[in-house]
Amino acid sequence: FTGNRAKLLELLATVHEAAKTSTVLEQMLSSGGIFQPLAWSSEQAYRFLKDIPVFEAAGILCRIPNWWKGGGAGIRMKVSIGDTPPAFVGMDALLRFDAKLEIGGTPISEAEARKLLAAADGLAFIKNKWVAVDPEKLQKTLDAYDRVKDLMENQGLSMRDALRMQLHPEAVPGGRDPDVDVSVSNGEWMASVIRKMENPDLPRGVRPGRGFRATLREYQKQGVN
């Protein structure tokens, strides 16, 4: 439509409408950049992606990457409890547990998360794919991760606490904050304990120990099991 001013204005009507609200689009119009291909930094791309609802409301069709369509990737802390048996049995027995971080379903190390936070401009290229990062949520999740690490290293987690976290993931340090996504899963040993608690007939043939000298009745054997 070169030279057809009326048609060009018609085509740009939706763009001018969106530019009333979008600073990104207003700058593209005023600079003339909208008429040519643009190379953006990740921060500029993030600003554009965040304004997509404004563009679509004005009638602009946007073709966007699939990884953005879900609103961007979230960061999550995954806590796994009881991979190995504790030293003794009981509700106060201390369990081993582990915490890991994920962004958009991709595991990342604590060092990677902190590096991402230091350079966060909205988008990050992690493990060969782009993910959207909310710096505020990332900071809150890392704070919760630090509290879980402190619990792991200095206090430990009792069987009682582990069962509480199974029912209420918000009991994990920092888990009450709606911006912190926490999931709790059972390690191999803990999962076997839960199965046996739900099905008391599963455990069989446990010996009470060499120092025990007596004959157990059947119901007593079940109790020991």
Give tens-digit pLDDT for 189-202: 888 888 888 887 77
Torsion angle of the four alpha carbons 109, 172, 152, 166, in this order, in degrees rounded to the nearest 10 = -100
> Would you place residue 22 in the very low, low, confident or very high pLDDT band (cuts 50, 70, 90)?
very high
- HSE on the CB side for 143, CA within 13 Å? 12
**Percentage of the chain surpassing pLDDT 70?**
96
Structure tokens at 9: 């204005």
Give tens-digit pLDDT for 164-196: 887 787 788 777 888 888 888 888 888 888 888
Average pLDDT in the chain: 83
Average pLDDT (89-116) is 82
Alpha carbon distance 182, 168 (integer Å):
10
Three-state DSSP at 96 gives coil
Structure tokens at 187: 């390690």
Give tens-digit pLDDT for 39-48: 988 888 888 9
**Per-residue pLDDT at 73:** 60
Comparison of pLDDT for 69 and 136, the residue scoring more: 136
Whether the pLDDT of residue 122 is over 80: the answer is no
**Per-residue pLDDT at 72:** 54
**Per-residue pLDDT at 54:** 92
Of 13-27, 66-80, 151-165, minimum mean pLDDT range: 66-80
Whether the pLDDT of residue 203 is over 80: the answer is no
pTM of the model: 0.63
> Would you place residue 223 in the very low, low, confident or very high pLDDT band (cuts 50, 70, 90)?
confident
Alpha carbon distance 77, 132 (integer Å):
16
Alpha carbon distance 76, 138 (integer Å):
9
Whether the pLDDT of residue 112 is over 80: the answer is yes
